[in-house]
Amino acid sequence: MERLAYKKPPVENKEYFLREMVSWFERGQIFLTALEIDLFTKLKEPKTSEALSMEMGTCYEITCRFLDVLVALGFLSKHGDRYLTAPNVAPFLVEGEPYFAKYLKSAVEERDSWIKLKQILHEGPSVIPTPKHARFDRESINWLARGVMLGRLQATLKIVSELPEFRNAKRLIDLGGGHGLYSIAFAQENPWLEVTVFDLPGVTDVAEEYINEYGMQDRVRTMAGDFTRDSIGSGYDIAFEAHAFGGNKDGLRLLYQKVSDALNDNGLFISEAHTLNDDRTGPPVPLIWELKDYMTGHSKTHLFPTNAELFDIFGEVGLSGERVINLPSQEESQNRMVIARKRI
């Protein structure tokens, strides 16, 4: 008989993977519940489980175990009998902190849709879609500015600054440039570059404050308007945008036509976007976002294109898609940089 110690398993063991799927659902429910009851803000100062249970009016025995799970998951710290929001996540989870992750509140609101996924699969969207509105107030723009400085801007700048076309560029437009930090960074890396931050009125006011703070008024300016309707100018060597567009395919085609018309021959269009693999097998997070749009009735308002679809649209408007670069990221959403060139 074959010795069992050397017997090859008949199939790869996927039990851990399957158990982990269930575990992530459970972990997600625990985390979202903590958000829902504002636990992390309540624990910005240390408290005992007894004091916290009395404050919230919860079952003491379950509250103790709930808190211990959150410690094990890394969201809370425990010192003796006192619990505290873990210092490394507190800037993101304590309301009022500079990096507070506001978007997590929408995850709490969307939880019901995911619980009803089986029903929605059979019956279609169960709600009348509500319009999606991005916030462009000063607080939100400053929050975005703080966020890009956690590594995303640096990763983008490293790739763009090494392009020969960037080193030789004289004019660049940053579409939907918001706070203007990308534009400021581009101008810092190329001393001959003049940069225009194009965004909505009011948003450009905030950008000008950042431009003044970094002393880049001579080479970075703003232009106020709506790039879906207004002229963006012409004669640019590079057009750049980072997640500035959130519309459908027709809107994307109109925007790219405007970009193509504004670029010089051989000029580059550099776009950061969440795109899908051509066979639609990944990345998982934008696929989940797309599923959520269909579940909630927003399927006609937003687009997660495949790389091939994006390149097809480029071809229709006089651009030639050249490269898709996976940007360094800790996220499964896989932020990508797409580079196209204005055809002669």
Examine the domain organization and report whether 47 and 158 are in the same domain. Answer: no
Examine the domain organization and report whether 75 and 168 are in the same domain. Answer: no
Q: CA–CA distance from 77 to each of 42, 72, 74, 95, 292 (Å)? A: 13, 9, 7, 18, 33
Angle at 197 between CA 195 and CA 200, to 5 degrees: 165
Range of the domain at 315: 138-342
Examine the domain organization and report whether 209 and 266 are in the same domain. Answer: yes
Tokens of 238: 């590079």
Backbone angles phi, psi at 200, to 5 degrees: -65, 150
Residues 6 or more apart from 145 whose CB is under 8 A from it? Answer: 178, 179, 181, 210
Examine the domain organization and report whether 167 and 48 are in the same domain. Answer: no
Examine the domain organization and report whether 227 and 86 are in the same domain. Answer: no
How many domains, the chain? 2
pLDDT tens digits, 84-133: 999 999 999 999 999 999 889 888 888 888 999 999 999 998 666 666 65
Examine the domain organization and report whether 34 and 158 are in the same domain. Answer: no
SS3 220: strand
Backbone angles phi, psi at 237, to 5 degrees: -85, -30
In a domain, 2, yes or no: no
327/130 Cα distance (integer angstroms)? 32
Q: Are 256 and 314 in contact (CB under 8 A)?
A: yes
In a domain, 277, yes or no: yes
Last residue of a domain, one of 28, 62, 92: 92
Examine the domain organization and report whether 234 and 328 are in the same domain. Answer: yes
Looking at residue 105, its pLDDT comes to: 85
Examine the domain organization and report whether 147 and 78 are in the same domain. Answer: no
In a domain, 115, yes or no: no
Sheet with 171-175: list strands edge to edge.
220-224, 194-199, 171-175, 236-242, 263-273, 336-342, 319-326
In a domain, 108, yes or no: no
In a domain, 125, yes or no: no
Last residue of a domain, one of 56, 75, 92: 92
Examine the domain organization and report whether 324 and 250 are in the same domain. Answer: yes
Examine the domain organization and report whether 74 and 176 are in the same domain. Answer: no
In a domain, 113, yes or no: no
Other Cβ atoms less than 10 A from the Cβ of 250: the count is 9
Looking at residue 300, its pLDDT comes to: 65
Give the domain CATH number at 88: 1.10.10.10
SS3 94: coil
In a domain, 114, yes or no: no
Examine the domain organization and report whether 171 and 45 are in the same domain. Answer: no
Looking at residue 54, its pLDDT comes to: 97
Give the domain CATH number at 250: 3.40.50.150
Tokens of 63: 């509250």
Phi/psi class of residue 253: alpha, beta or left (left: φ > 0; alpha: ψ in -120 to 50)?
alpha
In a domain, 175, yes or no: yes
Examine the domain organization and report whether 162 and 281 are in the same domain. Answer: yes
Residue 45 DSSP class = S
DSSP class per residue in 97-160: STT--TTHHHHHHHHHHHHTHHHHHHH---SPPPPP----SHHHHHHHHHHHTTTHHHHHHHHH
Segment holding 253, helix H or strand E: helix 249-262
pLDDT tens digits, 200-259: 999 999 999 999 999 999 999 999 999 989 999 999 999 999 998 877 888 899 999 999
Last residue of a domain, one of 58, 92, 126: 92
pLDDT tens digits, 309-335: 999 999 999 999 999 999 887 565 678
Looking at residue 331, its pLDDT comes to: 62
